[in-house]
Amino acid sequence: MDRYQPLNCDLYDYVEIACMHGYRLKVELVDGQTFEGKPLTTRTAPSKEEFLQFADGIEDVRLDQLAAITPLDEGASFGRVELGNSFCAT
């Protein structure tokens, strides 16, 4: 996999909000795959790569592999957010 690129800090907030509120998400990955899942938390590996952890046995997703997230819960505090190509300067 390519060198990790941290997610833009403003967009990282949407990931945290989704975890805090327990929103079920439609997740779009940069490779075109999509799935639905409930995010639990983020974690940082010793290599400094950041991952989004999901319930239901869904494999952790490295944050720079997220293209977009869309909450599926009615009344969610945000809509579809495009994350791909939105990285912090390193």
Q: Which sign, positive or negative, has the C-alpha torsion 61, 63, 65, 71?
A: positive
Residue 9 has pLDDT above 80, yes or no: yes
What is the overall mean pLDDT for the chain? 91
Average pLDDT over residues 23-47: 96
pTM listed for this prediction: 0.89
Q: What are the extents of the domains in the chain?
A: 9-82
Using CA atoms in the order 65, 19, 12, 32, what is the torsion angle rounded to 10 degrees?
A: 20
Residue 85 has pLDDT above 70, yes or no: no
Q: Which sign, positive or negative, has the C-alpha torsion 18, 34, 52, 68?
A: negative
Residues in the chain: 90
CATH 2.30.110.10 fits 9-82, yes or no: no
Measured at the alpha carbon of residue 33, what is the angle toward residues 50 and 66, in degrees to the nearest 5?
25
